[in-house]
């Protein structure tokens, strides 16, 4: 699985958009970009994933650059409950692949009132 690079920490004001960057310059054509977050003392929570196209769900939007070497997770209106460690993970996806997730150290997002 390709390595990812994320800033160790970021701050965001409540109600504003939080934009979390991730670099994955060695990503392969068959690797998806996944985002998880982990609120203190809880298990990781799936947010969103994508391959090439931008994706949006009820939690967030995922913007993947055309060359797929980086991506941005956008939380459109951050709340205090979005304070968490956010992990960007690239993963080979396939019917027979192991599908393990390789977590890095993530970005600690702090949403301030």
Partner 1 sequence: DTGVSQNPRHKITKRGQNVTFRCDPISEHNRLYWYRQTLGQGPEFLTYFQNEAQLEKSRLLSDRFSAERPKGSFSTLEIQRTEQGDSAMYLCASSLQGLSTEAFFGQGTRLTVV
What is the binding site for partner 1 (CB under 8 A)? 32, 34, 42-46, 49, 51, 85, 87, 93-95, 98-106
- How far apart are the two ends of the chain, measured CA to CA in Å? 37
Q: Identify the sign of the CA torsion 69, 2, 63, 112.
A: negative
Nearest-angstrom CA–CA distance, 55 and 110: 24
Query: Please, which residue, 16 or 28, has the CB nearer to partner 1?
Result: 28
Closer to partner 1 by CB, 26 or 102: give it.
Answer: 102
Minimum Å distance from CB 80 to partner 1?
21
């Amino acid at each position: 699985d390709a390595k990812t690079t994320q800033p160790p920490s970021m701050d965001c004001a409540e109600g504003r958009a939080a934009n979390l960057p991730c670099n994955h310059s060695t990503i392969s054509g068959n690797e998806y970009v996944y985002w998880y977050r982990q609120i203190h003392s809880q298990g990781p929570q799936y947010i969103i994933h994508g391959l090439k196209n931008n994706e949006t769900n009820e939690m967030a939007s995922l913007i993947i650059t055309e060359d797929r070497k980086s991506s941005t997770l956008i939380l459109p209106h951050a709340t205090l409950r979005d304070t968490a460690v956010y992990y960007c993970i690239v993963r080979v996806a396939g019917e027979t692949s192991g599908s393990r997730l390789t977590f890095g150290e993530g970005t600690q997002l702090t949403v301030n009132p």
